[in-house]
Amino acid sequence: MTDITLILNAIEQGNTGAADQLLPVVYEELRLLAAQRLSRESPGQTLQATALVHEAYIRLVEAENQNWNNRRHFFAAAAEAMRRILIDSARRKKSLKRGGNHRRVDLDESILAGTSVRSDELLALNEALQKLEKKDKVKADLVKLRYFAGLTSQQAAQVLGISHSTADEYWAYARACLRVEISKGDETPQS
């Protein structure tokens, strides 16, 4: 059992001091994931990797249902927390009071390939990802781990407990589904 798993078990059993032990153990790995993810954001991004890690960590530790069985579950939860923070940030930037006009855009390779992404593209991706999650949670989780947490295909496969080849197949399927869903949104008349 790893140090992380032992600490997570202590947190689950109600040991309040265990949460303080967790951050130093996972901090560098979370910061690396956050930095990888933020490197794909558009140049005007104001959120820093350190802030993203701290906000995600706070959300994880303060969550009511902390049922992380192991390191894999913890990092999957961290990827989800980072995704939600980035989506919330994109929504704030695009809100009407801040002058944004939300419109749908194509899901091009840059969104899933790791280049800069605008807030409206991120919101369109999030909507499509939520629909995919209702159909197939594992494939949606794979997208979250690869795109939002910056894991490689091999790392995401390990986190999800699937083979690398299955992860590659799921990735291709998920990308196609997301493209189709986003292109449907492009056909919606703009006001």
Question: 119 in helix, strand or coil?
Answer: helix
pTM over 0.85: no
Question: For residue range 96-134, what is the model confidence (pLDDT) as tens digits?
Answer: 555 555 454 444 444 454 445 567 777 888 889 999 999
Residue 123 included in any domain: yes
Residue 99: how many CA atoms within 13 Å on its side-chain side? 0
Residue 191 included in any domain: no
Q: Which range marks the domain in which residue 169 is found?
A: 3-186
Residue 96 included in any domain: yes
What's the CA gap between 100 and 115, in Å, rounded? 22
Total domains in the fold of the chain: 1
**Confidence at 81, pLDDT banded by 50, 70, 90:** confident
Residue 47 included in any domain: yes
Q: What is the DSSP string of 93-104?
A: HHSGGGT-----
Question: For residue range 26-62, what is the model confidence (pLDDT) as tens digits?
Answer: 777 888 877 777 777 666 566 777 888 888 888 887 7
Q: Is the dihedral of CA 86, 37, 1, 15 positive or negative?
A: negative
The more confident residue out of 161 and 149 is: 161
